[in-house]
Amino acid sequence: MDRNNNKRPGPPAGSGKDKKRVKMQQARSIQIQNTPSPSSSIHSTPAASPSGSSNAKSTRTLDVVSFAEARAFEINALHKAMESSRNAAAQRAFQSLPRNLRRRAASHNIKRLPIRLRDRAKREVESDPVKKGKKPDNRYKRRRPGTLAEEYLRRQGTKRWLETHIWHAKRMKMVEIWGYKLAEHSNEHGIKSAYKSSHHQCIIQDSSYNGCLEITGTKKDISDIFNHMLDPTMPTIGSTRYITGKRQYTTFLYEPDSFPKNLIAPVTFLWKQEPPSESAMEVDELSKQGQLWIWIHPSAFEATKATIQETVLKTNKAGLVNIRDIENSLVMFDFTGPRSTALLKAVLHLCQSDAASSYQEAHKTWETICNMRSSSSLPPGIVLGLLVEDPRLTFPHKAEARPASIPSQESRKAQEIITQWPENVARSSIWEAEGREQLLSTMTPESKLNERRAQNLVPGTKLLPTVSDSKVPLLLIQREGKPQIQRAPGGGNSEFECGWTLVLPKGWAMPFWKSMIFAGARPGGLRERRSFHFETHQSCFPYDFPNTAAYIDYAGETKKAGEQKYGRIPVAKRFNYEKMGVEDPFGAAWVKALKAGVMMLGGGEREDLKEEDIWLLQTPKMIAALMDAGKAAGGSSREMVSRLTLESLNLVMADCLQGLVKTALTPSLMKEPSARIDEALVRVGVDFLDRGTTGMNGMIYAIPEDQYRVWAARVQMKGKRTVEGRPRKEKKAKSWVDSDSDEEMDEAEEDESTMDELEMRRPAGTTLLGYVTTGQYCYSEGKSYGIGCVTATGLARMVELETKQRLEHSLSSQGSSNGSGGKAGAGPSTPLKVPRMMVLVRSVRSKASRLAKLTIVS
């Protein structure tokens, strides 16, 4: 470029603009024929002059055809130049937009263009001579499953999903546990909100993760097999109460011939109810062919299945009894709360067609009891077999308001049914595997139902059932609670504990689940399930069963997670457990507690004690024998007996166990009992008598003998309320024995500083009884509560010392009464007014030891 030239330089040679200009010039150029033109086709002929003069003008003519032929090349070149010029200057629809509105994908995606240009773009695409081929799918797309169900199956991996997984995953916290991906708790509501919902409304939980085994054979053979694996002191599955299929039965399953050790898990049994026999001869129920369903917790499902198969081989019934896994063939929903019955009534529309002829009696029974306020008044564990219409036909549902009272006529009918429960109301076709598969294959698609809804003149009109619609068989089982629990004033009631269990065929979970949710049910997860057990003072498996393999796995994972979280906290910010004297903050040292229990009875320390040797003492008769032994050693009468020893306690328990085994079964079916009492744990409830709270792994200590009177005096000086929660007339008791002796009154009076010092005193390790497995604030009690386990030896020793203290108080009170001139023959004074089985409970993060009482949880 010339430097002296100040003009702005033009575009460089060979730029896009120059190329476009050259292209347009070439398109508009007209070719010229260089060959010589043909002879002229213009002829001049002289015209006749009217005047005939010589200078007359000549007339010129033109032959168009000849002229066109002569200029054919120029004419074609002109047309070609016009066409090429038009094509060169033409713009497509997307090119007509300003550059700031153009989109890269608009050349092949018409929807990227403005609406005013889409029709023009469509015409251009249709007239485009070159059709764009489809781009081949990449490797990721080629490997994708063909259907959504296959995609969900691929995404599950090693953790199985429930049918309601997608619904839960959008609304709840999901955890991987027991081989499933389960909902733990809601993302929106806390535990208190769930308690209120279950206390006043209804909580629904998907418990389909519980495995189910189907056992077929003669009822006698099946009963004989399970007699080796169940508690011999409890009713067997062959008892008259359960063998007809009217009720379900929940009990504990042990390894064969090892009761009371080697507990596996709690299980639920249900027999299939057969139609009444038409023959006139009465046939023994045990000799009939039977079908049994067993529901097991997923953490113990494989162990239970292997144990049953082993027992079948041991009893030589391999060809007589068949075991089948139907874990994924059923759906199970649990309903808790007083509104459960009303909600089920709103969703379950009974089938009225001829297909329900065998369900007529069950339908009449349900129509009578569905108006009851709750299921707590029904016989425990009763079963109803119903046939209902597809809930999608009448979706959405709405539960009726809770009635203030029931009409007298309906109440009278319900009372008659409750008093005399019908015999043949538990039959259902859900027991047939072929029927379940056919029901799933003939299920009406949602699209077909939407087409039928679109034909309704009034939107929202419920669909009427047709012959082609599915009829769903189901089982409705009443879930019993624990009405014998004593609660504080304002606590829960039996309506909170009782509920229903709904059993459905596979594939029908979401239609019923959405209907229940729209009807007013609140969803719950694993946290809510454990909380409900806690609020009703019931142990929850596997969290409160220390002797089971499922608990060992759970405790190991919890301890590992707690240690990892603790290790991530800086040293300066950590809680110093070592300074607080807590040796096991993240786990319960059961072996350490058992060794301390042996030392309480004066025995030596056992070095061979292992965690695998621990067993759970939960039979009521054996627990009663243990308590009676402790009372007898403490002196239940005026005559003092010898001190309780480990040998004497083992002898008492062995005699009790031997008697229970022999009365329940023949000796040939059961081994000689070899359970040692120094390896046993007893499940207890921890109820605080004053202030205090506890959590998981809280330590339970026995009160030393020299401090028993001081702590008993503190119970008497609680304030305006007694242990039972009733108002007291006096503000303060005179002494821990409620006597009129001034000397005892002076000994019992202590100031707050002394009591605080006593609370802050660290209990000795030799008084360790056990640990708390579940502890938190209890809404039904209005205070902190805990569920845990204590050693059987420590419990017996505690009862012995307590009985001795009460006996000494009785003797001293009688002596003081006689010395003060009491009436002749008046007998002993008022008994000791302190609760039994008082202990000290200390949290892992607290310095203080709080006073509490224990209650047996069997």
Which residues lie closer than 8 Å to 749 by C-beta, 6 or more apart? none
Predicted confidence band of residue 124 (pLDDT cuts 50, 70, 90): confident
Angle between helix 708-716 and helix 752-760 axes, rounded to 10 deg? 130
Residue 829 confidence (pLDDT):
46
Confidence band for 687, pLDDT divided at 50, 70 and 90: very high
- In angstroms, the CA 799 to CA 803 distance is 6
Question: Residues 763-781: pLDDT tens digits?
Answer: 988 999 999 999 999 998 8
* Contact call for residues 461 and 393 (beta carbons, < 8 A): no
Residue 815 pLDDT: 62
Average pLDDT over residues 399-427: 85
pLDDT at 493: 52
At residue 751, does pLDDT exceed 50? no
* Whether the predicted pLDDT of 483 surpasses 50: no
SS3 of the chain: helix, strand, coil, percent, to 5: 40, 15, 45
pLDDT band at 753 (very low <50, low <70, confident <90, very high): low
pTM of the model: 0.78
Is pLDDT at 680 greater than 50 in this prediction?
Answer: yes
Per-residue pLDDT of 111-123, as tens digits, reads 888 898 888 888 8
pLDDT single digits (tens) 419-431: 889 988 999 999 9
Per the DSSP assignment, residues forming a β-bridge with 771 are: 699, 789
Read off the pLDDT band of 674 (50, 70, 90): low
pLDDT at position 836: 87
pLDDT of residue 43: 45
**What average pLDDT does the structure give for the chain?**
82
Cα distance between residue 74 and residue 66, in whole Å:
14
Q: Is the pLDDT of residue 195 over 80?
A: yes
Q: What is the pLDDT of residue 265?
A: 94
Q: Is pLDDT above 50 for 639?
A: no
Least confident of 300-309, 510-519, 680-689, 751-760: 751-760
Q: Which amino acid is at 677?
A: I
Q: Which amino acid is at 8?
A: R
Beta-carbon contacts of 22 under 8 Å, excluding residues fewer than 6 positions away, are none
pLDDT in tens, 59-108: 777 788 888 888 888 888 888 887 777 666 667 777 778 877 777 776 67
Q: What angle do CA 806, 800, 722 make, to 5 degrees?
A: 45
At 337, phi and psi to the nearest 5? 130, 165
Is the C-alpha dihedral spanning 112, 117, 119, 120 positive or negative? negative
Nearest-angstrom CA–CA distance, 516 and 396:
9
pLDDT band at 648 (very low <50, low <70, confident <90, very high): confident
Can you tell me the distance from the alpha carbon of 749 to that of 312, in angstroms, rounded to the nearest whole number?
A: 66
pLDDT over threshold 60, residue 485? no
Cβ neighbour number for residue 111 with a 10 Å cutoff? 9
Is 409 a residue whose pLDDT tops 90?
Answer: no
Weakest-pLDDT range from 127-141, 209-223, 389-403: 127-141
Distance CA 845, CA 562 (A): 14
484 pLDDT exceeds 80?
Answer: no
- Provide the pLDDT confidence category of residue 132 given band limits of 50, 70 and 90: low
**Mean pLDDT along residues 231-253:** 90
Which range, of 47-51, 174-178, 279-283, 640-644, averages the lowest pLDDT? 47-51
C-alpha 856/C-alpha 623 separation (Å) is: 9
Radius of gyration in angstroms for the set of CA atoms belonging to the chain, rounded to a whole number: 44
**How deeply is 823 buried, as exposed, middle or buried, from its count of CB atoms within 10 A (0-12, 13-18, 19+)?**
exposed
**Residue 643: pLDDT over 90:** no
Asked if residue 167 has pLDDT above 70, the reply is: yes
Q: What is the pLDDT of residues 586-628, one digit of tens each?
A: 999 999 999 999 988 887 777 778 888 899 998 888 899 999 8
Residue 101, pLDDT score = 79
pLDDT for the residue numbered 576: 92
* Residue ranges of the chain that CATH labels 3.30.70.1400: 210-274+286-328
- pLDDT at 486 (0 to 100): 40
pLDDT band at 53 (very low <50, low <70, confident <90, very high): very low
By percentage, how much of the chain surpasses pLDDT 90? Answer: 41
- Mean pLDDT is lowest, of 636-645, 784-793, 846-855, for 636-645
pLDDT at 292 over 70: yes
> How many helices and strands, by DSSP H and E, does the chain display?
28, 22
Over residues 628-644, mean pLDDT: 69
Q: Give the CA count within 13 Å in the CB-facing half-sphere of 750.
A: 20
**Secondary structure letter of residue 3 according to DSSP:** T
Higher pLDDT, 543 or 91: 543
Query: In the CATH hierarchy, which top-level class contains the domain 210-274+286-328?
Result: alpha beta
Q: What is the pLDDT of residue 386?
A: 94
Angle between helices 408-419 and 360-369 (to 10 degrees): 120
What SS3 class is residue 783?
strand
Confidence of residue 729 (pLDDT cuts 50, 70, 90): very low
